[in-house]
Amino acid sequence: MSLRIVVCVKYVPDATGDRHFAEDLTVDRDDVDGLLSELDEYAVEQALQIAEDADDAEITVLTVGPEDAKDALRKALSMGADKAVHVEDDDLHGTDALGTSLVLAKALEHVGYDLVISGMASTDGGMGVVPAMLAERLGVPQVTLLSEVKVEDGKVTGRRDGDAASEQLEAALPAVVSVTDQSGEARYPSFKGIMAAKKKPVQSLDLSDLGIEADEVGLDGAWTAVDEAAERPARTAGTIVKDEGEGGKQLAEFLAGQKFI
Amino acid sequence: MAEVLVYVDHVDGAVRKPTLELLTLARRIGEPVAVHLGAGADTAAATLAEYGAVKVLAADAPEFADYLVVPKVDALEAAYKAVSPAAVLVPSSAEGKEIAARLAVRIGSGIITDAVDLEAGDEGPVATQSVFAASYSTKSRVTKGTPVITVKPNSAAPEAAPAAGTVEQLAVAFGEQATGTKVVSRTPRESTGRPELTEAAIVVSGGRGVNGAENFPLIESLADSLGAAVGASRAAVDAGWYPHTNQVGQTGKSVSPQLYIAAGISGAIQHRAGMQTSKTIVAINKDAEAPIFELVDYGVVGDLFQVVPQLTEEITSRKG
Ligand SMILES: Cc1cc2nc3c(=O)[nH]c(=O)nc-3n(C[C@H](O)[C@H](O)[C@H](O)COP(=O)(O)OP(=O)(O)OC[C@H]3O[C@@H](n4cnc5c(N)ncnc54)[C@H](O)[C@@H]3O)c2cc1C
Ligand SMILES: Nc1ncnc2c1ncn2[C@@H]1O[C@H](COP(=O)(O)O)[C@@H](O)[C@H]1O
């Protein structure tokens, strides 16, 4: 039987752009170019490697996001994923992590899965909570923050490098996995891959397809509210000296003045 | 007064500093009730009481160590049901965030992660967060359910406020999911004897400019002269010069020390994301145009192989 892998990928504003908030205090996605979250490329990469090692596997990439999020799906398809699912609905604007995990969980149940692979965190919100929430909602094992992952005989195993220890984990499929940026460099799409991606199917789903009410998601359905967003005052310009042979001593003098020595 | 659950981060009953910060912040909202899972509750209780825990709910079972995350969620949920708290505070470690995330789904509550400050508000606790690589600061609230909030290390200075800290056993019934992910083996990290990166008052980090693992002792000596933790940029980590556990930045640790010293680090946005909230920032870089200089309180444009040893020597002689 074919191994059904679904990779959750997010379309995010470019971190090197000038990111800011819109008037409703949601992330402004209009002024900054978007792209496939770099950290989700690692998830796509691991999915491709797992599929290569399996007898028969199919990779679906799944995103919840605006119209432009199709770009992220195309990128993942051009890396080698087989098909894509795009959950898109005007009522999704302003959805927080709890809402996103609800929509992703319903979409995963709709699409069908044996293995869900996520990135370690999205590069914009960066909460790093969606994979754990997905496992909770789906009622399947969570095998997260892996820097090494393998699937064999209906089991997923992997290494999780924590603060205090490095752990070897094991769980039966179906499961939710997340991988870190230590899991291995993501491949670049080949020209052939880019051309092939144009013909790969992208299915669109909206909230009603998933049986989700509009008030369960979006800004109004959010479980949290942002009341204020203020740009951090620019740090006051510091003192910069050129080392003419005494740079280390000058720095020590500064540190002593600040009572660090 | 309402009770506030505080999840205790500890090593066999030795309470880690971020938990003391959480207890301090929890007192602004209500009466802290600590939740201690695993061995060592009796040892921990004294410290937890000193920092304001009115009660310590304790549970110990092999499941906490043998399976990933879920047993701890089951226990925290049991504590939540026993106490009906005004908020649940969890340290913002990788595991802490996962525990908090699952609890929030289970109890139907909103969650805020990586708070750097917490105040009482008319409509519940108000959390300050720092977003977009710390270029913005936001104030947020949970609007549904019991606020579940994870708090970053170094968000408050721990203040003692002795309370009873009575230890009570917490009864936990593990659910079906608790044993889903087995921890097959565990290799503890060797202690370096240096302070924990996220908890340290001073962090000294080296980047690509350090130019080889063999030169990192230069950074370590400077760190040791200041009693600091050692950090590294991703470039230095990817090159294999320093362990990933020491990486500072978006995909490494986020630090907020009193003093951050960056040597041979350019200051890419992903690095800044992990250190920009440091109180005082110092950089040594030979390129005067390096973006790190936009952040510094004091910068030296120069060769780190000259500046760092001179600095270390000067500090050592001043400390006598
Ligand atoms: C998704 C994603 C996540 C990332 N996460 C992180 C992260 O968590 N942490 C992180 O650090 N990076 C992260 N990065 C990488 C980041 O973009 C930069 O590539 C990285 O921070 C560069 O490290 P560096 O400053 O050490 O190296 P460089 O940018 O190469 O800078 C080296 C600096 O050293 C200086 N130098 C060289 N020799 C000397 C000398 N002898 N004396 C003094 N100065 C010298 C140079 O002038 C230069 O400024 C991430 C990138 C992505 C895409
Ligand atoms: N809108 C989304 N669509 C698809 N996947 C997502 C979305 N948001 C988060 N994810 C997945 O969840 C991971 C963690 O996200 P976060 O909890 O937002 O940091 C990401 O790396 C993605 O794999």
For ligand 2, atom 4, name the residue with the nearest CA. Answer: A63
Instruction: Nearest by CB to B318, from A133, A140, A256: name it.
Output: A256
- Least distant ligand from the CA of B267: 1
Beta carbons of A39 and B318 less than 8 Å apart: no
> Is B191 a known ligand-binding residue?
no
Give the whole-angstrom CA distance, residue B286 versus residue B303.
5
**Cα distance from A85 to chain B (closest Cα, Å)?**
24
CB of B202 closer than 8 Å to CB of B261:
yes
Helices (H) and strands (E) in chain A, counts: 7, 13
Residue carrying structure tokens 């659950």: B5
Rounded to the nearest whole angstrom, what is the distance from the C-alpha of residue A87 to the centroid of ligand 2? 13
Average pLDDT in the B181-205 region? Answer: 94
Decide yes or no: CATH 3.40.50.620 for domain B3-179. yes
Residue A157 is assigned to a structural domain of this protein: yes
Give the whole-angstrom CA distance, residue A257 versus residue A239.
13
3-state percent breakdown (helix, strand, coil) of chain A, nearest 5? 35, 30, 35
pLDDT in tens, chain A (261 residues): 699 999 999 999 887 777 777 778 777 766 678 899 999 999 999 999 999 999 899 999 999 999 999 999 999 999 999 999 999 999 999 899 999 999 999 999 999 999 999 999 998 877 899 999 999 999 999 999 999 999 999 999 999 998 889 999 999 999 999 999 999 999 999 999 999 999 999 999 999 999 999 999 998 888 888 899 988 877 778 999 999 999 999 999 999 999 999
Rounded to the nearest whole angstrom, what is the distance from the C-alpha of residue A105 to the centroid of ligand 2? 12
Beta carbons of B245 and A180 less than 8 Å apart: no
Instruction: Nearest by CB to B202, from A19, A175, A260: name it.
Output: A260
Q: Could you tell me which chain B residue has the CA closest to the CA of A254?
A: B298
DSSP characters over B187-252: EEPPP-SSPPTTT-SEEEEE-GGG-SGGGHHHHHHHHHHHT-EEEE-HHHHHTTSS-GGGBBSTTS
From B88, B118, B77, select the one nearest B2 (Cα to Cα).
B88
Sheet of B298-301, strand order: A239-242, B298-301, B280-285, B259-263, B202-206, B229-232
On chain A, the residues whose CB falls within 8 A of the CB of B199 are none
What are the two backbone dihedrals, phi and then psi, of residue B183, each rounded to the nearest 5 degrees? -90, 100
pLDDT at B5: 98
Rounded to the nearest whole angstrom, what is the distance from the C-alpha of residue B296 to the centroid of ligand 2? 33
What pairing do the DSSP bridges indicate for beta strands B182-188 and A165-172? antiparallel
Q: Hey, what are A198's tokens?
A: 């144009």
pLDDT at B189: 87
Which of A223, A228, A242 should one mutate to test binding to chain B, selecting the residue with the greatest count of B CBs within 10 A?
A223
**Fold classified for B202-319:** Rossmann fold (3.40.50)
Beta carbons of A141 and B94 less than 8 Å apart: no
Higher pLDDT, B137 or B106: B106
Helix (H, G, I), strand (E, B) or coil at A80: coil
For chain A, where are the E strands, in sequence order? 3-8, 11-13, 34-36, 57-64, 83-87, 115-119, 142-152, 155-161, 165-172, 175-179, 202-205, 224-231, 239-242
Whether residue A17 lies within 8 A of chain B, CB to CB, comes out as no
For ligand 1, atom 26, name the residue with the nearest CA. Answer: B207
Amino acid in position B206: G
Q: How many CA atoms lie within 13 A of A96 on its CB side?
A: 26
Confidence of residue B136 (pLDDT cuts 50, 70, 90): confident
Beta carbons of B68 and A144 less than 8 Å apart: yes
Residue A61 is assigned to a structural domain of this protein: yes
The 10 Å Cβ neighbour count of residue A261 is 16
Helix (H, G, I), strand (E, B) or coil at B37: strand
CB of A43 closer than 8 Å to CB of A117:
yes
pLDDT at A72: 96
DSSP characters over B54-108: SEEEEE--THHHHB-SHHHHHHHHHHHHHH--SEEEEE-SHHHHHHHHHHHHHHT
Residue A179 is assigned to a structural domain of this protein: yes
pLDDT at B160: 97
CB of B65 closer than 8 Å to CB of B183:
yes
Bridge partners (DSSP) listed for residue A227: none
Average pLDDT in the B215-233 region? Answer: 98
Beta carbons of B68 and A142 less than 8 Å apart: yes
Omega before A174 within 30 of 0, i.e. cis: yes
Bridge partners (DSSP) listed for residue A149: A158
What pairing do the DSSP bridges indicate for beta strands A3-8 and A57-64? parallel
Confidence of residue B135 (pLDDT cuts 50, 70, 90): confident
Q: How many CA atoms lie within 13 A of A231 on its CB side?
A: 8
For ligand 1, atom 52, name the residue with the nearest CA. Answer: B270
Rounded to the nearest whole angstrom, what is the distance from the C-alpha of residue B280 to the centroid of ligand 2? 33
> Is B271 a known ligand-binding residue?
yes
- Give ranges for CATH 3.40.50.1220 in chain B: 202-319
CB of A131 closer than 8 Å to CB of A142:
yes
- Least distant ligand from the CA of A116: 2
Q: Hey, what are A46's tokens?
A: 């691991």
For ligand 1, atom 28, name the residue with the nearest CA. Answer: B266
Q: To the nearest whole number, what is the mean pLDDT of chain A?
A: 93
**Cα distance from B93 to chain A (closest Cα, Å)?**
9
Beta carbons of B251 and A97 less than 8 Å apart: no
What is this model's ipTM? Answer: 0.94
Number of domains in chain A: 1
For ligand 2, atom 14, name the residue with the nearest CA. Answer: A121
- Least distant ligand from the CA of B234: 1
Burial tier of A31 (Cβ tally within 10 Å: 0-12, 13-18, 19+): exposed
pLDDT at A29: 67
Range of the domain at A61: 3-221
Instruction: Nearest by CB to A129, from B101, B188, B306: name it.
Output: B101
On chain A, the residues whose CB falls within 8 A of the CB of B292 are none
Structure confidence by residue, pLDDT tens digits, B59-109: 999 999 999 999 999 999 999 999 999 999 999 999 999 999 999 999 999
- In percent, the amount of chain A with pLDDT more than 70 equals 98
The 10 Å Cβ neighbour count of residue B159 is 13
Which of A123, A232, A236, A242 should one mutate to test binding to chain B, selecting the residue with the greatest count of B CBs within 10 A?
A232
Q: Hey, what are A165's tokens?
A: 């220890």
What pairing do the DSSP bridges indicate for beta strands B10-11 and B14-15? antiparallel
Residue A259 is assigned to a structural domain of this protein: no
Q: Which of residues 142-171 of A touch B (CB under 8 A)?
A: 142-145, 147, 157, 160-171
Q: Mind spelling out the 3-state secondary structure of A21-42?
A: ECCCCCECCCCCCEEECHHHHH
Which residues approach ligand 2 with their CB closer than 6 A?
Answer: A 8-10, 37, 39-40, 43, 62-65, 97, 100, 104, 118-119, 121-122, 125-131
Q: Could you tell me which chain A residue has the CA closest to the CA of B150?
A: A127
Residue A249 is assigned to a structural domain of this protein: no
- Give ranges for CATH 3.40.50.620 in chain B: 3-179
**Cα distance from B158 to chain A (closest Cα, Å)?**
20
The 10 Å Cβ neighbour count of residue A163 is 15
Rounded to the nearest whole angstrom, what is the distance from the C-alpha of residue B214 to the centroid of ligand 2? 38
pLDDT at B130: 87
The 10 Å Cβ neighbour count of residue A1 is 6
CATH of the domain at A60: 3.40.50.620
